[in-house]
Every structure is written in C-alpha cells, then in structure tokens.
Structure 1
Amino acid sequence: MENISGRFFDDAEYQRRRIQVREGMSARGLDACLIASPENIYYLTGLDHQGYFACQLLVLPADGQPVLITRAMEKATVRDQAPDVRHVGYADGTEPSPGKADEAPLVESTWPVTMGAPTREPRRRPYLMPSAAVSETVRVLRDSGLAKAVIGIDMNSTFLPYSIAEGIMNGVPDADWQQLDSLVDDVRIVQSRAELEMTRQAAAISDSMMLSAIAAAGPGVNAREVMAAIYDAMFRRGGTYPGFVPLVRSTRNLAHEHGTWEDLALVHGDLLFLEMAGCARRYHAPLGRFVFIGEAPPETQKVNAICQEAMMAAAAQIKPGALAGDVYEAWQAVLDGNDLSHYSRHHCGYSIGIGYPPSWSGSGVPVGLRRNSQMQLREGMTFHLMSWLLGSGIGDAFLSDTVEVTANGCDFLTRVDRNVLVR
C-alpha cells in the first residue's frame, strides 16, 4: 500500500480527510486552521517523525494548498512524507529583540491599597522574543491572504507553547482568532477502512506483547525482564514505538497510576499489572490484564467474573447511535447489582487511534465513555474498553481491550484470555 512518496495511505485518503475537516471549518465560518498537534498533522499530511519536539505548524486554508512550517532541517522528511503540501522551513534561533527587557509591555496586575483606596498598579511581564518559527508563520499567513481572516488556532494543544501562540496572534493582529477546539479530532475519531486495518494490526501486536509478558512473569523474575519480553515481541511482530511506554507494575508500586517498571523482583503473592498498546503506523490498540504471581487469592474467581460481566454489559451497549454515557451506565449497573454501588470510576474506556509520545490516545484528556456523556457512537470508532475493580472491598480484577464500533455492534480486536491468570 505504500507509494513512492513514502506515505502509507494513498492520496485519496488524505483528500477525504481534508474535505471533512474543511466541511467543519465551513460550518464554523473559518477561513483557515493553524494546527499544532502531531497526531492531527500526521492525519492530514502523512508527516510521521519525531521532530515535533520543536515547533511545527500546519496552515490548512479553506481552499488551496496546505502549508507545513517546521525546522528547515526537516526538508527531506516533509518532501518524502507530505509531497502535496508546501513546506516552509525556519532556521534555528530568534529574531533580535527590539528593545531592552525593562521596556517590556505593561499589563494589568493587582489592586494595592493607598490611603484606604484601591489603585491600579501596572506590573511588567517578560518580553516574548519572536522566534524564527513565529516570524515564518506570520509571514505565511500574510502571504496567503489571511492577515484579516477568521483563523482557528489549536490553543488546547500540548504542542503549542504560549510564547508561540501569542507571538503569532500579535503578528497578525487584524485576524479574527477563534479557538479550534476539537474540530479535527471530531473527524479523526471515526476511522476509515484503511485506518481500521492498521488498528487491527496493532491489536495483533498487542496480543503478542501481552502473551510474552505473561510468559516471562513468575516468582523471582525481575520486572525489567517482563518489560524486555514486551519490547522484544513488539518489534519482532512488526510494531513500532508506541505513544506511551508499556505499564508494568507490581503490588509495591501498583498505585502509581502512570508509572511503569522498577528494578524489582516479583515475589509469591504479588499482583502484576500489565497494560500496553501495540502500534502500527501510529495506530494503537491498548490491552490490559492482571497476573497473580504464585497463586491467586480465593476471592479472585468471583471478582474476575464480575469484572468480565461488567465489560460485556458495556460492550453490548456499544453500537452506532448509542450514547457514551449509556455504555458507562451499563458497566456500573453490573457493579450495582453485585453490592458494589459504592464503587465507580471516571470512565470505562476512551477513544484511541493515532498517538505520539507521550500518549497513545493523542494529547490532552482522552474522550471517554463517561457517566452522563452525550457523545454518540459511530461506526468506525475504536475504544480502549476497561473494566477495573481495584480496592473494591471484594478483591481485585482488571480487564481492558481494544474494541471497534461496527454496523452490528461491538467487535473485540484484542483477544488474550480474560480468565484469572496465574504465573
């Protein structure tokens, strides 16, 4: 499927995506978008590299050729991976400051009290020296006839620093700057047939990673050996580096929510937490299981059965047209029916797809299957479906899988055994 340009998907796929985003722009009255998220830039152009640690921006106009602004050294990568965009490279460094630091603009501050009456006292803030990235972006917007346009800007992106955003908006002061919000993400959340094939490949890789981790675990085995088995399977099965490091925790660091392996040997009676995502062409398929080291506590069979029942109840609600909040309530209802009404979670899953470090679900808080969520599920969405009972009072169980919303309901893409696992 890979073509001569170095992009994996064909040109028609990228055109389809841009048309859908532009339809959203039209509905919002936007003349252009300024996009910073590496996931959304990859989605719309095919640019897949690690250079997003420095400022990179995509200008997507309502009509005409998109413009990618990156460091100049990324020229060859952009040429090969995004051949139908115009590339503007900027040199490292900053423009000279127009004045001294003590000539920085004044901004409003606190209200000190003088003679009993409040008075405004201006304070100073650091001068934001315009960077080369800012200067080139401002130039592109002006040269593209967007100096007075309505422009959506990706202000929620982790990858758009305040100094860059303010510098650009100050450099194009007559534009009507609007918050882009989730305009691109709302298109990207529904995967095409070609994208779903990548997610299915990622799921097969996830299964291999998990099976390798389980096989490596056991009393006396260091957690780093489990992690080594995961990475070995990840790459041997054709995967690439995931957006988030696999999570391997045992009883002693189990509560470290987003922590991973430490230099600790597993001991008899440990609870081993495993959560990971295979990655194929930046598409992810998370998968999670508990493994009991040596033996499982007597209550484990019962609590794992409840955990499975809750997961399957949630899965039964997943179909086109269903509300995310109803999926969560189906999960919670099983707990309530098993005297666990005191136990609830912030979600029972979240949307997944394209991801770059540091996340396998895209930057920011994931779009979740949350209580009261009115998000309507659509065919082609994929979710990390989770059923987790930890500290519930009746024992511990954890299951998570990647699922796809199909025309007929919910399809599980990851398939590792969901019964009690002991090593």
Structure 2
Amino acid sequence: MDKTMDQAGVERRSRVNIVQEKCRERGVDVAIFTSPENIYYLAGLDYEGYFCLHALLVPANGTPVLFARSIETPTVLRQAKDVQFIGYADNDDVPAAIASQLVAIAGKRPRVALQRNSAFNVAIDAPLRVALPNAEFLDSSGIVEEMRMVKSPFEIEQIKRAARISDIMIAAGIGTAGNGVTENSVAAEVYRAMISAGGQSPGFPPFIRSVDRICEPHITWTSREFKTGDSFLLELSGCIDRYHAPMARTGYIGPAPASASKLSAISNQAHLKALNALKPGALASDVHAAWRAHLHASNALPRLEHCGYTVGISFPPTWTGGPGINSLHGASTVQIREGMVFHLLTWITDDAGNDNFLSDCVLVEKSGGVFLTISPRDLAEV
C-alpha cells in the first residue's frame, strides 16, 4: 500500500474516534456531516461527485455510514474503506433512507446532530424532522471544522507540496505575460505548469485579471491582450490531495508607475507586520490590528477588512475550506495555534487608481509564521 494513503487512513480513523468521543460527551447518538471538506477529512472521499447529496453518519459507537449515489460505488469502495456505504438511485427518497438508518442505529428517539452550516443540510433537515417526530435535533457544525484548523505533520507536508506548485504556477504566469499576450494564453501556461508539476484541479480556478478588472475579486481570464503599461493580477493555488496553498502577485507590463511601486512597498510592509504578529497564543484580531495599523499610518485603503483566513482541505467552488471560514479580522477571538495554515493577504488601493494584491500561504510554527510560498513579493515588471 502507498505510504501516503496508509498514513492518511491512520489519521482519518483517529479523527473519527475523536468525533465519536465528542458525540458521547454531548449525548449525541449520531452526528451527520454533509460538506465535502468534512466528509473527505473523516472518510477520504476525493472526487468531483459532491454536486449531489452526500451524508456521512458518524454514530457515537460503531462504523460511520456514507450515503452517496449508487453510480459512485467503485470510487467509494476504493477510497472510503472505513465506512459502510449505502448507495442511492436518483429517484430514491434519500432523507427517508437516512431516517431509516438513524432508527437502526439509535432507535425512534435518536439525538441527531446535523451540520447546519452546510448547504446540503437544507435537503435533509426538514424531511428528517417529519420522518422522525420523536427525535431531538442538534447542530454538528464546528466539530470537524475546529479539528481541521490545526494541521498534522502529514497534512503540513501536503500543503508544502501544494505551495511549491503555487510558486511554479506564479512563475509560469508572470513569465508568460507581456505586450500582445492574451490573458487566456497566460491561463493556459499556468494550467500547463500546474498539471506538469503534479497538481490537482484547485477549488477556485486561477484568477487572472488586468487593469480595470483587477478590482473584481472572483472573476478570471478573458481573451483581452495585455498592452504596455497594463497592470495585472495572478491569484491562484496549487492543490495536492485537496490541500491548497493560495497566493497572489501583482505586476505590470513594462515599467510600473512610481505610485504603483510605492503601493507595493506598503503592501509588502503590511504583509510582514501581519506575519510577525502571527504567533501561537495571539488572537486573530491582534494580527489584524498590526496589519491595519501599518495601512492606516501609510494612508493606504484596504479593499478587504481582513488580512487572511485559514486554509487546507477544500473542494470546488472554493479554496477557503467550505463552511466555517476563520478570517483574520478585527472582531475575531480565534487564538492562533501552532500548526494553523493561513492565506495571508494584503489588498490595497490608492487615490491614483492603483491596486496591489499580495498574498502567501503561511504556516504557524512554534516561533511564529513562516512563508510556504516563496516567489518574489516585489511588484513584477515584465
């Protein structure tokens, strides 16, 4: 057996044990998880079939039960070896089948914890309450998300591999950009580099934008040609075994205006202020305060009111980790711990109409934050 797969299996079994212990502590008979990230974390199912309803039932004692479409049986049997699999046809009443399984596990008066922060919860919440009128329904949101915040050494290695691919992708994109080159040509080279380096398809596509489209955060390339004097942005992430390492760099076709270079310097300095504050024991709000203080002193205008968020496992349509995002913002009381991984970012603008977006994947070690993505952070000029 592949050592990576074996280690992942060992960790998943340990995670399930922890969830079951939490269920017993809370008097929960069965916890149900429906977000792709949580199912993958506990059961190991890594594929593109999450557009349909999935539900992982974790009983306080015993083997977890996974509901997914019957057509996915070969994939589930190969990947999710430590669960009981129940496949359903597209015309089946899935909530009724889940209700029947809950009764089989815990009787007609089960205490069930549903993952209410998941979009898929909508499909089963009301039907389960109708099918099980004597059940007590609680919330399982946050149980697995809290566990996922601190990465194991094995997980950190996957993120480091993803970070190396992110750097390769950035180098390919910047190296391709130039006068007369189209945005989609840059995208093609970024994808070529990503796939050649062993990367998986990430949760978000690479965001490749230029000039007046830079301020639109979640759009990507067009067939537009770069021209000398244009600004451009590459925000992207490598992905290995669903672990992500996002980063962003800003550049110019030809020499950058002096005002843009000044903004880049401010962005770099704010980025380092946040990194230096990212120490075990600090609060997320402390990191934000250090970052915000530098921007305020520099008269820079932030596009975002946070300077990053936790990352790790993620599935389309996001690399932010699905529900339960923990951002570095001014009101956050989340404590920074060794083993956390962040997409640390600074996106600022000025009165001259310049934008600078700088971001990196950062690991919190015992001594503080360290960059996992290492591409040059100065404003690119190509």
Shorter-chain TM-score: what band?
over 0.9
Note the 1:305-316 alignment, pairs <5 A: 305-316=265-276
Question: Which residue of 2 is the match for residue 114 of structure 1?
Answer: none
Q: 1:379 to 1:20 in 2, by over 3 A?
A: farther
Q: What letter corresponds to residue 102 of structure 2 in structure 1? A: L
Q: What SS class does the counterpart of residue 348 from structure 1 fall into?
A: strand
With structure 1 as the length reference, what TM-score do the two structures score? Answer: 0.86
Q: Distance in 2 between matches of 1:223 and 1:394?
A: 21
Question: Which residue of 1 is the match for residue 140 of structure 2?
Answer: 180
Structure 1 residue 354, shift from structure 2 partner: 0.4
Q: Distance in 2 between matches of 1:231 and 1:45?
A: 29
Question: Which residue of 1 is the match for residue 43 of structure 2?
Answer: 45
Question: Which residue of 1 is the match for residue 335 of structure 2?
Answer: 376
Note the 1:227-266 alignment, pairs <5 A: 227-266=187-226
Q: Distance in 1 between matches of 2:370 and 2:229?
A: 34
Say if 2:347 is the partner of 1:349: no
Greater displacement, 293-302 / 41-50: 293-302
Q: What letter corresponds to residue 382 of structure 1 in structure 2? A: V
Q: Distance in 1 between matches of 2:168 and 2:158?
A: 16
Note the 1:98-113 alignment, pairs <5 A: none
Say if 2:379 is the partner of 1:420: yes
Structure 1 residue 80, shift from structure 2 partner: 1.1
Greater displacement, 330-339 / 197-206: 330-339
Q: 1:384 to 1:392 in 2, by over 3 A?
A: farther
Question: Which residue of 1 is the match for residue 53 of structure 2?
Answer: 55
Question: Which residue of 1 is the match for residue 113 of structure 2?
Answer: 152
Say if 2:136 is the partner of 1:136: no
Structure 1 residue 257, shift from structure 2 partner: 1.6
Question: Which residue of 2 is the match for residue 290 of structure 1?
Answer: 250
Structure 1 residue 280, shift from structure 2 partner: 0.3
Q: What letter corresponds to residue 77 of structure 1 in structure 2? A: T
Say if 2:335 is the partner of 1:337: no
Q: Is the 8 A contact 1:223 1:248 kept in 2?
A: yes
Q: Distance in 2 between matches of 1:410 and 1:53?
A: 35
Structure 1 residue 247, shift from structure 2 partner: 0.1
Structure 1 residue 344, shift from structure 2 partner: 6.8
Q: Is the 8 A contact 1:343 1:392 kept in 2?
A: no
Structure 1 residue 23, shift from structure 2 partner: 3.6
Question: Which residue of 2 is the match for residue 2 of structure 1?
Answer: 2
Residue from 287, 294, 297 that aligns with 1:327: 287
Q: Distance in 2 between matches of 1:50 and 1:8?
A: 22
Note the 1:84-233 alignment, pairs <5 A: 84-94=82-92, 131=93, 133-160=94-121, 162-233=122-193
Say if 2:33 is the partner of 1:35: yes
Residue from 377, 399, 402 that aligns with 2:361: 402
Deviation readout 1:297-352 (Å, 9 max, x if unpaired): 11222221111111111111111111000000000111122234x65732100000
Question: Which residue of 1 is the match for residue 326 of structure 2?
Answer: 367
Question: Which residue of 2 is the match for residue 125 of structure 1?
Answer: none
**Two-structure CA RMSD over aligned residues (Å):** 1.8
Q: Distance in 1 between matches of 2:63 and 2:269?
A: 51
Q: What letter corresponds to residue 141 of structure 1 in structure 2? A: L
Q: Is the 8 A contact 1:240 1:279 kept in 2?
A: yes
Q: Distance in 2 between matches of 1:251 and 1:344?
A: 16
Gaps of 5+ in 1: 95-130
Gaps of 5+ in 2: none
Q: What letter corresponds to residue 150 of structure 1 in structure 2? A: R
Q: 1:391 to 1:318 in 2, by over 3 A?
A: same
Q: Is the 8 A contact 1:21 1:187 kept in 2?
A: no
Greater displacement, 357-366 / 283-292: 357-366
Deviation readout 1:115-162 (Å, 9 max, x if unpaired): xxxxxxxxxxxxxxxx2x2122111111112531221101221233x2
Structure 1 residue 8, shift from structure 2 partner: 5.8
Query: In proportion to residue count, which structure has more helix?
Result: 2
Q: Distance in 2 between matches of 1:55 and 1:405?
A: 35
Greater displacement, 183-192 / 274-283: 183-192
Q: Is the 8 A contact 1:308 1:399 kept in 2?
A: yes
Q: Distance in 1 between matches of 2:339 and 2:290?
A: 21
Q: Is the 8 A contact 1:220 1:266 kept in 2?
A: yes
With structure 2 as the length reference, what TM-score do the two structures score? Answer: 0.95
Q: Distance in 2 between matches of 1:13 and 1:304?
A: 41
Q: Distance in 2 between matches of 1:137 and 1:74?
A: 18
Structure 1 residue 379, shift from structure 2 partner: 1.0
Q: Distance in 2 between matches of 1:84 and 1:147?
A: 26
Q: What SS class does the counterpart of residue 83 from structure 1 fall into?
A: coil
Q: What letter corresponds to residue 328 of structure 1 in structure 2? A: H
Kindly tell me the number of residue pairs found equivalent between the two proteins.
382
Q: 1:416 to 1:63 in 2, by over 3 A?
A: same
Q: Distance in 2 between matches of 1:167 and 1:136?
A: 11
Structure 1 residue 390, shift from structure 2 partner: 2.1
Larger radius of gyration: 1
Query: What fraction of aligned residue pairs are identical, expressed as a percent?
Result: 38
Q: Distance in 2 between matches of 1:326 and 1:343?
A: 17
Report which structure shows greater RCO (CA 8 Å, sep ≥6).
Answer: 2
